[in-house]
Structure 1
Amino acid sequence: MSLLKEIILQIFFALIPFVAFNIYYRDKIRNYSQTFILLTSSLCLFLAMTFASNVVDGVIFDIRYVIMFFGLVYGGVQTGIILLVEFVIYRLYLGGEGMPVAMIILACTFSLSLLFYKLYKANYRRTFVTFLAGIAFSVIPLVLTYSFFPNDVKEHLAYHLIVIPMQNSLGTWLLLTLFGKSVADKEMFIRHAQNEKIETMSHVAASLAHEVRNPLTAVKGFLKLIQEDHKHLPKLEQYINICLGEVQRTELILSEYLSISKPLTARHEVINFSEQLYVIREVMSPYANMHNVELEVHAPDSPVPVLANPDEIKQVLVNFIKNAVEACSEVSDAKVILRLSSEEDRVVLKIKDNGIGMTESQMKRLGSIYFSTKSNGTGLGLTYSYQVIHAMGGTVTVASKPGAGTKFTLIFPEAEQVG
């Protein structure tokens, strides 16, 4: 049992770089650094030598050769030399009659480690090189220790034939194999993250182009109305103001979608939700007309106060209305109805369409990034909308059946007053 404890302790020290790597680099989009290898290897070497095993006073055994080989492979020659210096200084400090032979063993194993390092880096059968290094780190200490202390080796033959080979060969194989796999997995993760980032940029670009069409369509529709009805000055001024507002909102759409993954802005104020709905109806009516969809809004005449960012809530309403319009654009007598009500301390907005509807599995995935029921959709619009609603303390529920339309219910906390 004592021999097993010695092996387990040294193997534990050998795996410190592997464990530290998986903890420190778990959520980072980068791989290990030379500094990381040097620090963890130095710590591991110090602990292994401090709590080394021995059966004869002054003669100690640990996994120093494993650590120095690991430092060479992943930290380079410079790291290996620093570990070599650390060992020499600390071994001189520890002293004992085994110090001279320890220096000779180190000279032999470090020279071989340089050779194994070159073979390993050349991708020359790395598993075989790792196995060969473990055998060398087991045989060389045994042979040289026997040359200097034959009687001690014979007296503790089981220790020298089991403990030392086990901790060196098993330690080398475990550390190099496990750390190598973790590094390979991290490289795969980094490549996937980079590819995902590129794909995200393309999706955002496509979504931006799609979303920006809404205000541009509205501007185009009102400009046509101005062209047809330019003699009515009151309406002309109203149409121009709406067009200017939509141009400004286009800029806001760009900034909102570019920052969709960032925390939502904390700027909130009390707004009249009822008034916002009628404004949005004016904005989205040309878009609905283009798709032959009737857009209805039913809201109380009295103010319905909610605490929100006006730009965010406007974009949310545009997203829901646009999706509803597109969902029923191929249906005869297509209609989208927005119904706002105030119930106790809650504001409830129901958005209903008589479009194509959704299945249960589709409804469960709504709001997930890049999920869309449309073949050319990105899902970013609803993802953003869900984030805004939840940030306001609101909720979203959906009821739908294929071919029977969809009804979204948006519930917000009611504010105390309208500013």
Structure 2
Amino acid sequence: MAQIKDLLLQLFFSLMPFVLYSFYYRDRDTNYTKKFILITSMICLFLSMTFASSVEKGIQFDVRYVILFFALVFGGFRIGLLLMLEFVLYRLYLGGPGTSSAMGMMMVMFPLSVLLCSVYHRTSQKYLVAVMAGLCYSFFPLLLLYINRPDYILTHLTYHILIIPVHNSVGVLLLIYLFEKSATDKDMYLRYLQSEKIEAVGQVAASLVHEVRNPLTTVLGFLKLIRQDQAMPPEKLHRFIDISIEEVKRTEAILSEYLSMSKPLTQKREVIDLAHELEAVAEVMTPYATMNNVSLILHVPSEPVRLSANRAEMKQLLVNFVKNAVEACSAIQKGNVTLRMHTDGLLVKVHIRDNGIGMNKEQLRRLGSIYYSTKNTGTGLGLTYSYQVIRSMNGTVSVFSELHKGTEFTLSLPLASKDPDG
């Protein structure tokens, strides 16, 4: 039973580099480094030798060669050399009658490991080489020990032909297979992220060109007309110039939206009264709603509703939602937008409801995606920015909509923690 326990413990030590890799690199946007291989290998070698299995005092067996082979494969020759140095120093410190035999074995096994590592990198049958390495790590130490201590080997023959091969063969195969698969999957994931970034840049460029080209084409056309018609009446000339100025302003607004998306969200926050902010936004947006023949209705609590946020970002996202709601009602009669706020436990919920054109399932699914808009003249950046701000505050957005009946957005944001001194 004690030998089974030692076996399982050594197998655990042999798999520790994989376990540490899975834990440390799980949420990182980089893959393993040689420094990581060195540190984890040294830790695993130290633990393996400290809690080695043994059937006779002074003669220890562990997964040192498994860790060495792993370090050579994924870290290179220098990492393997440092690991061998660690083994030599620590084995001398541990001492015992098996020290000289252990040193002799390492002098043979290190160059063999380097050779097997070279074969591993050149062949497509990598796992076959790993199995061969495990068998070599079981056979050659057994042979060398038999030459020096045949009585010891014959006394503990079952241990050496069953336990030790499992130590090495299963350990090296599992470690190499699991680590290589995880590292390969991580590499594929990182390449996928990179390709997504490139695709996003392409989408930004294409969207920006599309958005800016139309107003610039309009301005260019009017400038050509002005140049061709030298005797153009002043009122017509002024009208053309006014239209051109409006198109230039539209281009500037589009560029400003793109620039706002490229800026990182600020970490500077303060405790604000969301009820007051929503009232201010409603006051600002009422003329715009009136211009679009839309009624703006506001229901907020009489007491302050405090949350931690950046005031400018919060105001901008509220304006974005209210503006979209107003524009959704602009094409119908008796359009109205209702803004309602209430607290729900540790959250404040803001409901923005309109009775406008509504959205279908496909539009709802894509809502908030970058550069997607339900409006012909929109870029979709306003809602994308708003979603980004809400997520940065650990908030959520839910939306319910029916075609030709209207839409309701519900913003759920965490309330500011109460001051214990207040």
Q: Same fold (TM over 0.5)?
A: yes
TM-score bracket, normalised by the shorter chain, equals 0.7 to 0.9
The 1:42–1:367 alpha-carbon spacing in structure 2 relative to 1, beyond 3 Å, is same
**How high is the sequence identity, in percent, across the aligned residues?**
38
Determine which of 254, 257, 260 is the counterpart of 1:256.
260
Q: Does 1:187 align with 2:187?
A: yes
The residue identity in structure 2 corresponding to 1:296 is N
Which aligned pairs between 1:334-349 and structure 2 lie closer than 5 A?
337-340=335-338, 349=352
Q: Deviations along 1:199-225, whole A, 9 cap, x unmatched?
A: 2223344555667799999x99xxxxx
- Matching residue of 1:298: 295
The 1:336–1:304 alpha-carbon spacing in structure 2 relative to 1, beyond 3 Å, is farther
Give, in whole Å, the separation in 2 of the partners of 1:228 and 1:304. 52
1:265 CA drift (Å): 7.0
- Matching residue of 2:417: none
1:71 CA drift (Å): 0.7
Determine which of 392, 399, 402 is the counterpart of 1:400.
402
Give, in whole Å, the separation in 2 of the partners of 1:121 and 1:151. 39
333-342 or 83-92, larger mean C-alpha shift: 333-342
1:80 CA drift (Å): 0.6
The 1:374–1:154 alpha-carbon spacing in structure 2 relative to 1, beyond 3 Å, is farther
The 1:114–1:386 alpha-carbon spacing in structure 2 relative to 1, beyond 3 Å, is closer
Give, in whole Å, the separation in 1 of the partners of 2:196 and 2:2. 51
The residue identity in structure 1 corresponding to 2:360 is M
Q: TM-score, normalised by structure 2?
A: 0.74
1:99 CA drift (Å): 1.3
The 1:34–1:343 alpha-carbon spacing in structure 2 relative to 1, beyond 3 Å, is closer
Give, in whole Å, the separation in 1 of the partners of 2:152 and 2:394. 76
- Matching residue of 2:280: 272
Q: Does 1:313 align with 2:282?
A: no
The 1:281–1:66 alpha-carbon spacing in structure 2 relative to 1, beyond 3 Å, is same
The residue identity in structure 2 corresponding to 1:140 is F
Give, in whole Å, the separation in 2 of the partners of 1:136 and 1:375. 70
Cα contact 1:133–1:169 (8 A) shared by 2? yes
Q: Deviations along 1:326-364, whole A, 9 cap, x unmatched?
A: xx9xxxx76693434668899764333236x413x7546
- Matching residue of 1:416: none
265-274 or 130-139, larger mean C-alpha shift: 265-274
Cα contact 1:274–1:340 (8 A) shared by 2? no
Give, in whole Å, the separation in 1 of the partners of 2:96 and 2:71. 26
Q: Deviations along 1:338-396, whole A, 9 cap, x unmatched?
A: 434668899764333236x413x754664466777799998654343345568598965
The residue identity in structure 1 corresponding to 2:262 is L
Q: Deviations along 1:175-197, whole A, 9 cap, x unmatched?
A: 11111111101101110111111
Cα contact 1:6–1:163 (8 A) shared by 2? no
Cα contact 1:395–1:410 (8 A) shared by 2? yes
Q: Does 1:92 align with 2:89?
A: no
Give, in whole Å, the separation in 2 of the partners of 1:135 and 1:87. 21
The 1:111–1:264 alpha-carbon spacing in structure 2 relative to 1, beyond 3 Å, is closer
Cα contact 1:339–1:349 (8 A) shared by 2? yes
Determine which of 332, 351, 354 is the counterpart of 2:354.
351
Q: What SS does structure 2 have at the residue aligned with 1:29?
A: coil
1:151 CA drift (Å): 1.0
Give, in whole Å, the separation in 2 of the partners of 1:302 and 1:182. 53
Give, in whole Å, the separation in 2 of the partners of 1:107 and 1:376. 74
The residue identity in structure 1 corresponding to 2:258 is L
Q: CA RMSD in A?
A: 4.5
Unaligned runs of 5+ in 2: 221-233, 306-310, 344-348, 414-422
- Matching residue of 2:35: 35
Unaligned runs of 5+ in 1: 221-225, 286-294, 414-419
Q: TM-score, normalised by structure 1?
A: 0.74
1:160 CA drift (Å): 0.8
